[in-house]
Structure 1
Amino acid sequence: MDRRTVVVIFEGFQLLDLAGPADVFATANLLTRADGYDLEVAAVRAGQVSAQNGIVALARTPLAGLTGPIDTLLVVGGLTLSACPADRELVAEIARLAPHCRRITSVCNGAFLLAAAGLLTGRRATTHWLAADRLAAGYPQVRVDADAIYVKDANVWTSAGVTAGIDLALALVAEDHGHELARQVARGLVVYLQRPGGQSQFSTPMRASTPPSERFRELQAFIDDNPTGDLSVPALARRSAMSERHFSRLFTAQTGMSPGRYVERSRAEAARRRLEVTADPLDRIARESGLGGPETLYRIFRRHWRISPGDYRRRFHAEEL
């Protein structure tokens, strides 16, 4: 029997959240004759549903008309979803269908709809890196992993932003049919079967809270502008005319991280920018970013972005036109 797969969409949804997984499943269907995927697109009301980019999809089935059993329920995301109250009817229908599904999944900030339906309570989950803090703040009972490309917790799967829906769908195919079929699908779609690293490699610079105190805002700017300087706690405390203990306590309270952690992140960001825009060798980048040598640069990149500096440069270096 084909695996009944219901994709839930809504006005303003992200088209790639639907199209990416749908093409993975369709490609898998071409390569296997048994237990393929029978896709249904559903919305609160049947009919035309506009994606955020203006393209219209057709939801043939109203959610209220669906009954079980369902193999996989896939809830897509949308650019404004995490910032707006969830549609109560949409959430209620997702909650109603969940007990009849073998597997429940979301793409991008579709995780907010699963959370609102109570399906992520006590679970580990992920979402787009831009929305991870809001998911954690709005649903403290969810263990949010802001770096994961996708997360499986029992029968509930969540994925990171947008194209990560393809990674998620490939993982579902691998679970259903084995890694060889998933590998064939990935080759056909010219994507990674499992991309290296987490989603933090795609994020904007690692953030600290903006301090309310002008003194600490100026100190942050000084640290960012002087990666090779003496940025030890004693030196920064002297610059701030405070004892080391008092300085460390206030800096952490103002920025949300310790001085040492902020300095490491600032230097890592300096190295990341140089990897993107220069062809300098790694030892020079490490030295001029305040990281000492290539070994430290490698260790910090593996810790923060789960890839090597060389891999990062190959993906994100901007060649001059």
Structure 2
Amino acid sequence: MAQHIKIFILLAPNPLMLDFAGPVEVLRRANKIQTDFVFAVEYIAPHAEMMTSAGLPVSGLGKLPKYLPSKSYLMISGTTADILGSGDTPSRAQIEKDKQTIISWLRNIVTKDQTLLTICSGALLAAHAGLFDGYRCTTHHECLDELRSISPHIRIEENRLFTEDRNRFASAGITSGTDLMLHIVGKKLGLAAAADIAKHMVVFARRNGDAPQLSPFVQGRSHLHPTVHRIQDLIAADPTKDWDVQTLSREAHMSARHFSRLFNAQTGLSVPDYVNGLRIAIAENALRAQKVNIEHLVGDLGFGSSRHFRRAWQKHHQLSPTQWRDQQIGNA
């Protein structure tokens, strides 16, 4: 018989839809691909109906319960002051009142028997309730200063997609909430199942919590040049392919010299550095996940030689791949 895992989704005032919709889609897919576990989701909030960041109200929400079952999960969404369209946006006074209601409820209800997950600014509500005192924690990079001001007892981790400290998890928010839930599901169902879910959701690369909030997969993407974006999409779809300037310049319908200059000007990176940055990010995830053979990894990632791989690695890390992997395992 399948084991039921209760997961409460707490919608804070003006919740960001991506904060809770992405993680819940991970759970929905997890329930479909296996029969060992059933993730039973229940939505709770200060009101039966809440306006979301997209200007779309969600209704039928449950009340904040008087207790949470042992070994259940509680996920707190982030909030925003910006609502799409006018709609029936709650007043600032009502939003503040709802936040205080949630903080008080968290302080009185959540214990060490539950697993806490916060998405984006949801960490601020949990921090006000004292739930991150003595724990590692992160939040969206725009909320870090506010998080610091709440309590000196929180061990804040900057530039992280998510943190894990015993039964307290915190994500940087928005899309990183999906990464966090994939991590949670992976711990229950295994990395292969999590990877299958990520593939189904067209999440390009399942990211580890220690990855920076500004991932290599979005680095150099702030420009507006459509051809360079198209080439970057081509590279990102298969970073292990032998992408050289000549090949990519033909895809861009430009001379190699003109393309190389254009790519560098728009991204701030040379073509080899951009390609190798994506490959090193994949190598990091592989090294964290298991004790892979580094020589095999060199070939799998498309590096022509161990020397080529190590030269690219040294641009990102002072430690050797083996030393870096051992350090990651030691910190886990």
User: Deviations for 1:233-281, whole angstroms, at most 9, x for unmatched residues?
Assistant: xxxxxxxxxxxxxxxxxxxxxxxxxxxxxxxxxxxxxxxx956446756
Within 2, Cα distance between the matches of 1:145 and 1:74? 19
Aligned to 1:151: 163
**Distance apart, 1:178 and its partner CA:** 1.3
**Distance apart, 1:301 and its partner CA:** 5.4
The one-letter amino acid paired with 1:194 is R
Is residue 5 from structure 1 mapped to residue 7 from structure 2 by the alignment?
yes
Within 1, Cα distance between the matches of 2:134 and 2:39? 30
Aligned to 2:22: 20
Query: Percent same amino acid at aligned positions?
Result: 22
User: Deviations for 1:95-144, whole angstroms, at most 9, x for unmatched residues?
Assistant: 23312743111011110011011010011111111111221233222111
CA 1:203–1:7 in 2, change beyond 3 Å: closer, same or farther?
farther
Unaligned runs of 5+ in 2: 83-91, 221-262, 274-309, 319-332
Please tell me the root mean square deviation across aligned C-alpha atoms, in Å. Answer: 3.2
Is residue 198 from structure 1 mapped to residue 200 from structure 2 by the alignment?
no
**Distance apart, 1:74 and its partner CA:** 0.3
- Tell me if the contact between 1:91 and 1:116 (Cα under 8 Å) persists in the aligned partners: yes
Within 2, Cα distance between the matches of 1:100 and 1:301? 38
**184-193 or 149-158, which moves further after superposition?**
184-193
- Tell me if the contact between 1:69 and 1:101 (Cα under 8 Å) persists in the aligned partners: yes
CA 1:102–1:281 in 2, change beyond 3 Å: closer, same or farther?
closer
- Tell me if the contact between 2:74 and 2:117 (Cα under 8 Å) persists in the aligned partners: yes
**Distance apart, 1:90 and its partner CA:** 0.6
Within 2, Cα distance between the matches of 1:277 and 1:194? 22
Aligned to 1:49: 50
- Tell me if the contact between 1:73 and 1:101 (Cα under 8 Å) persists in the aligned partners: no
CA 1:108–1:297 in 2, change beyond 3 Å: closer, same or farther?
same
**156-165 or 191-200, which moves further after superposition?**
191-200
Secondary structure of 2:111's match?
helix
Within 2, Cα distance between the matches of 1:78 and 1:275? 36
**2-11 or 53-62, which moves further after superposition?**
53-62
Within 2, Cα distance between the matches of 1:101 and 1:61? 21
Is residue 186 from structure 1 mapped to residue 198 from structure 2 by the alignment?
yes
User: Deviations for 1:35-78, whole angstroms, at most 9, x for unmatched residues?
Assistant: 21000000023x21111221112253100455423511000101
CA 1:167–1:275 in 2, change beyond 3 Å: closer, same or farther?
farther
CA 1:296–1:20 in 2, change beyond 3 Å: closer, same or farther?
same
CA 1:299–1:133 in 2, change beyond 3 Å: closer, same or farther?
farther
Secondary structure of 1:30's match?
helix
CA 1:102–1:276 in 2, change beyond 3 Å: closer, same or farther?
farther
CA 1:168–1:278 in 2, change beyond 3 Å: closer, same or farther?
closer
Aligned to 1:318: none
- Tell me if the contact between 1:12 and 1:78 (Cα under 8 Å) persists in the aligned partners: yes
CA 1:122–1:66 in 2, change beyond 3 Å: closer, same or farther?
closer
Is residue 136 from structure 1 mapped to residue 142 from structure 2 by the alignment?
no
**Distance apart, 1:200 and its partner CA:** 3.6
The one-letter amino acid paired with 1:95 is R
Within 2, Cα distance between the matches of 1:277 and 1:67? 48
TM norm structure 1: 0.61
TM norm structure 2: 0.59
CA 1:112–1:61 in 2, change beyond 3 Å: closer, same or farther?
same
Alignment of 1:56-205 (within 5 A): 56-69=57-70, 71-80=72-81, 87-99=99-111, 101-191=113-203, 192-194=205-207, 197-201=211-215
Unaligned runs of 5+ in 1: 205-272, 284-294, 304-321
CA 1:158–1:276 in 2, change beyond 3 Å: closer, same or farther?
farther
Aligned to 1:228: none
Alignment of 1:215-226 (within 5 A): none
The one-letter amino acid paired with 1:74 is M
Which of structure 1's runs of 4+ aligned residues deviate more than 6 A?
Answer: 295-298
Within 1, Cα distance between the matches of 2:21 and 2:211? 24
CA 1:88–1:7 in 2, change beyond 3 Å: closer, same or farther?
same
How many residue pairs match? The answer is: 222
- Tell me if the contact between 1:13 and 1:50 (Cα under 8 Å) persists in the aligned partners: yes
Match of 2:32 among 15, 26, 30: 30
CA 1:173–1:276 in 2, change beyond 3 Å: closer, same or farther?
farther
- Tell me if the contact between 1:129 and 1:161 (Cα under 8 Å) persists in the aligned partners: no
CA 1:31–1:99 in 2, change beyond 3 Å: closer, same or farther?
same
